[in-house]
Amino acid sequence: MDTVVSLKSIMEKTTSTKAQQRLGRLAKALAHPTRLQILHILTQGEACVCHLMTVLGKRQANVSQHLTVLREADLVVDRREGLMVYYSLADKRVAQIIALLRELALDEGDVVFGAVPALPVPGCPCPKCAGADN
Ligand SMILES: [Zn+2]
């Protein structure tokens, strides 16, 4: 018997209200180190996908996939400007969640994420970094 499937079906039956479903989406979205790191970077201000790719050292497909999960959980919002899509935290309280989670992990003597690199990030093609020399 597939435990994951049966647990999922139990959860689907018990999380009936919209608020509970939203809570589940929120918790799921937060339950990945890369997504927490993306939110951590966004606490410093909005960023485009290419900036996140550069800072994280990950491919576009991977970063976009995580951003979709974060957007569907209403943790981030996107804004289009020409060909660029910028992401930012949907709510100031998201930054508080990240700060709190980092603090809890730091209590255990570990470093969760390094400091978010200051702009311009060397080698980043995004308008904010590449345009910083002008
Ligand atoms: Zn950049």
Domain-located, residue 83: yes
> Ligand 1 center to residue 5 CA distance, Å?
41
- Whichever domain contains 24, its CATH number is 1.10.10.10
> Ligand 1 center to residue 3 CA distance, Å?
43
pLDDT of 1 reads: 53
Rounded to whole angstroms, how far apart are CA atoms 95 and 90? Answer: 10
Rounded to whole angstroms, how far apart are CA atoms 47 and 38? Answer: 10
> Ligand 1 center to residue 30 CA distance, Å?
24
Domain-located, residue 11: no
Per-residue pLDDT of the chain (134 residues), as tens digits, is 566 667 777 666 665 688 888 899 999 999 999 999 999 999 999 999 999 999 999 999 999 999 999 999 999 999 999 989 999 999 999 999 998 888 888 766 666 677 788 889 999 999 889 876 54
Pick from 134, 133, 112: which is nearest to 122 by CA? 133
> Ligand 1 center to residue 93 CA distance, Å?
24
Q: Are the C-beta atoms of residues 54 and 48 closer than 8 Å to each other?
A: no
Residue-range definition of the domain harbouring residue 69: 18-133
Domain-located, residue 75: yes
pLDDT of 57 reads: 94
Domain-located, residue 12: no
DSSP per residue, the chain: --HHHHHHHHHHHH--SHHHHHHHHHHHHHSSHHHHHHHHHHTT--EEHHHHHHHHT--HHHHHHHHHHHHHTTSEEEEEETTEEEEEESSHHHHHHHHHHHHHHHHTT---S-PPPPSSPTT--SHHHHGGG-
Q: Please give the tally of structural domains in the chain.
A: 1
Domain-located, residue 4: no
> Ligand 1 center to residue 20 CA distance, Å?
36
pLDDT of 134 reads: 42
Domain-located, residue 7: no
Rounded to whole angstroms, how far apart are CA atoms 91 and 117? Answer: 22
> Ligand 1 center to residue 88 CA distance, Å?
14
> Ligand 1 center to residue 102 CA distance, Å?
23
Domain-located, residue 73: yes
> Ligand 1 center to residue 74 CA distance, Å?
23
Domain-located, residue 49: yes
